[in-house]
Amino acid sequence: MGIVIIKYNAGNIFSVDSAMKRLGVDAIVTDDKDLIRKADKVIFPGVGEASTTMKYLRENGLDSLIKDLKQPVLGICLGMQLMCKHSEEGNADCLDIFDVNVKRFIPQKHEDKIPHMGWNTITDVKNPLFDTTLENQYVYFVHSYYVPINSNTAATTDYILPFSAALHTQNFYATQFHPEKSGSVGEHILTNFLKL
Amino acid sequence: MLAKRIIPCLDIKDGTTVKGINFVNLRDAGDPVELGIKYSKEGADELVFLDITASHEERKTFTELVERIALNISIPFTVGGGINELKDVDRLLSAGADKVSVNSTALRNPMIIDEISKNFGSQVCVCAIDARFDGEKWMCYTSGGRNLTDKELFSWAKEVENRGAGEILFTSMNHDGVKQGYANEALCCLSESLNIPIIASGGAGNLQHFSDVFKEGKADAALAASVFHFGEIAIKDLKYYLRSEGINVR
């Protein structure tokens, strides 16, 4: 049934779809629950605000659907944060796939600007989404909230403090950065996901 | 470590790239999508596409062009020009833009910044400011530098930060197009008084200008157009140079 990108009230869906097209994959962008359930792989993108987005997901029954998916799921940026337990952004209860809470960056010195925006390196990368060639590579971030380091951390980035650049548990994968906007490095990571 | 960003800016008029010398004389610098792909491959960190005629002719930025860009390039890009209301933002983001840049509209209706950041997140909202130093103060202009406003640069920059802008793109009209370096003093002042990233624009002429804007201007990103469009500086060489100057780049 191919690759499905979950359609909801979030930005960057077109960008993720475009990245798939550049990799030669015609993804289906849909909010149809049957199509999502039957997909080989699901991408859960996201740019937006946590509480508003969670409300939308709940009202449309997508919250429990995502949680119950058994195929590989890739959450991106806000998608990753929504897969956590709770977010300080709008005090939102989230999907609780990853047992960790999302926090707001607190600047420690003046140079610590928020949002964390731009290209930063990933370290301590873990299989299977990452391979050793990806250690210390630059990827693109835009976010004001972060996921602390925890037992599901699959890659680490340092900005103000070390935080989770990626998460993984069972069939759920997630990146805080935007692979669809991270040039050839991002394409490499998306290809790894497609190969799972 | 977060890298300093190099951002080629493509000013768009009638679907082609142009660069103004002090905003007046426009020269053709090629097809926007072609240029975007070229810069992306050469190591540009982001791209900015400004529809420079949209504002005063009240014309909407071409959504189709944005879609073509999004389909073809794999780095972030900002679109500006002709954004008058929230639905323009929605249209451009849906077409694949990562950020939108508001300038004249924000000066006329500052609430649009609050609305954009509330509806789409502050990271989407780049507030562009064109200002000229009149010997005493930096004053802001609308409509591509045509109309003087009563807003002063530093207080306006603070206001847009408070309203939720995610970044400020500051163009010094004194420096733009003359290739004598960026407005580092004003940039440093902006960078030290604000807590959001500052993109420097206007004045790049040689490699050292870029090093200066990061070291002296304390900018988070440097934007330039003609030095890239006319092949005077290759982005690869620029990155190599900046690295040798101890500046962290991708």
pLDDT tens digits along B87-133: 889 888 888 899 999 999 999 999 999 999 988 888 899 999 999 99
Chain A residues closer than 8 Å to B40 by CB = 183
Is the pLDDT at A75 greater than 90, yes or no? yes
DSSP B123-145: GGEEEEEEEEE-SS-EEEEETTT
Contact present, B36 and B77 (Cβ < 8 Å): yes
Residues B225, B8: Cα–Cα separation, whole Å: 5
Tracing tokens 């954009």 back to the chain, one arrives at: B116
A48 vs B191: which has the higher pLDDT: B191
* pLDDT tens-place string over residues A134-179: 999 999 999 989 999 999 999 999 999 999 999 999 999 999 999 9
Q: Which of B107, B62, B57 is nearest to B80 (CA)?
A: B62
Contact present, B15 and B32 (Cβ < 8 Å): yes
* Residue A10 CB partners (closer than 8 Å, separation 6+): A45, A46, A47, A48, A53, A78, A79
A114 touches chain B (CB under 8 A): yes
Tracing tokens 């030669």 back to the chain, one arrives at: A24
What pLDDT is attached to residue B26? Answer: 39
Region A13-32 average pLDDT:
94
Helices and strands in chain A, H and E counts = 6, 13
Structure tokens at B42: 């050469």
Tracing tokens 């977010």 back to the chain, one arrives at: A87
A115 touches chain B (CB under 8 A): yes
Residues B32, B24: Cα–Cα separation, whole Å: 20
Structure tokens at A86: 């709770």
Number of other CB atoms surrounding residue B42 within 10 Å = 16
Which residues, given as ranges, of chain B have pLDDT below 70? 19-30, 54-61
Contact present, B184 and B213 (Cβ < 8 Å): yes
B75 touches chain A (CB under 8 A): yes
Q: What is the ipTM of this complex?
A: 0.88
What pLDDT is attached to residue B162? Answer: 97
* pLDDT tens-place string over residues A100-139: 999 999 999 888 888 899 999 999 999 999 999 999 999 9
* Residue B68 CB partners (closer than 8 Å, separation 6+): B33
Among A20, A89, A112, A140, the strongest candidate for a mutation testing the B interface, having the largest count of B CBs within 10 A, is A140
